[in-house]
């Protein structure tokens, strides 16, 4: 899938991936790749500025933890993050539904 399309929806992808529980960046990238059946392959480094942005907006919190012998920043959804994920997911479903109706008519 085009990088630009993923980039425009990276916040929602990260919020959705974090809904499964706290995770560090590498886990989040792997989770997005697996849950999209390999469709969403993004430049992995871009998740960190996105996560920092989400944190600065109060949508996620983070802390250093040692996981698997390495010190990692583990991210977790905040209450505001859950609300934002629900809102953005609802917006996305409406958009996807509209796209499907239009694109479906072409086939």
User: Both tokens of residue 48?
Assistant: 């960190």
Minimum distance of other proteins from residue 91's CB (angstroms):
21
Q: Which residue in 2, 37, 70, 106 binds other proteins (CB under 8 A)?
A: 70
Minimum distance of other proteins from residue 86's CB (angstroms):
21
Minimum distance of other proteins from residue 37's CB (angstroms):
18
User: Both tokens of residue 81?
Assistant: 């993050």
* Cβ-Cβ contacts under 8 Å for 67 (sequence gap 6 or more): 24, 74
Q: Is 16 left (phi over 0), alpha (psi -120 to 50) or beta?
A: alpha
Which H/E stretch holds residue 72?
A: strand 70-77
Binding flag, residue 9, other proteins (CB under 8 A)? no
Nearer residue to other proteins within complex by CB, 63 or 97: 63
Site of interaction with other proteins (CB under 8 A): 24-26, 29, 43-46, 48-50, 52, 55-56, 58, 61, 68, 70-73
């Amino acid at each position: 899938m085009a990088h630009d399309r993923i980039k425009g929806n990276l916040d929602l992808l990260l919020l959705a991936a974090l809904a499964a529980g706290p995770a560090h960046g590498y886990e989040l990238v792997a989770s997005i790749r697996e849950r999209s059946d390999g469709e969403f392959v993004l430049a992995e480094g871009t998740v960190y500025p996105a996560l920092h942005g989400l944190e600065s907006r109060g949508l996620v919190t983070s802390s250093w933890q040692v996981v698997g012998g390495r010190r990692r920043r583990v991210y977790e959804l905040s209450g505001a993050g859950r609300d934002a994920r629900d809102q953005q997911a609802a917006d996305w479903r409406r958009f996807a539904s509209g796209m499907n109706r239009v694109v479906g008519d072409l086939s």
